[in-house]
Amino acid sequence: MSNPINIYNSKIGIHNPYFDSTNYVYQLDIFFKNNSKKTFNKITNKKYTRLIQINDKINFNTISHFILVVTKDIGLLKQQFTIEGDLKLDELDELDEFEDYTYKTDELYIEFNKNDLNLIDSCCYVKGIDDNRLFITPPNY
Would you say residue 141 lies in a domain? no
d(CA 95, CA 89): 11
Is 77 a member of any domain?
yes
Q: What is the pLDDT tens value at each position of the chain, 141 positions in all? A: 555 555 555 555 555 555 557 889 999 999 999 999 999 999 998 889 999 999 999 998 899 999 999 998 877 788 899 999 987 665 445 545 557 888 999 889 999 998 888 899 999 999 866 555 555 566 665
In-domain check, residue 40: yes
Residue 81 lies in domain: 19-126
Residue 3 lies in a domain: no
The alpha carbon of residue 11 and the mean position of all alpha carbons in its chain are separated, in whole angstroms, by 32
- H or E element at residue 82: strand 77-86
Length of the chain in terms of residues written: 141
- Nearest C-alpha neighbor of 34 from the set 56, 52, 61: 61
Q: Is 92 left (phi over 0), alpha (psi -120 to 50) or beta?
A: alpha
Radius of gyration, CA atoms only, the chain: 20
Tally of domains in the chain: 1
| Residue 97 included in any domain | yes
pTM: 0.72
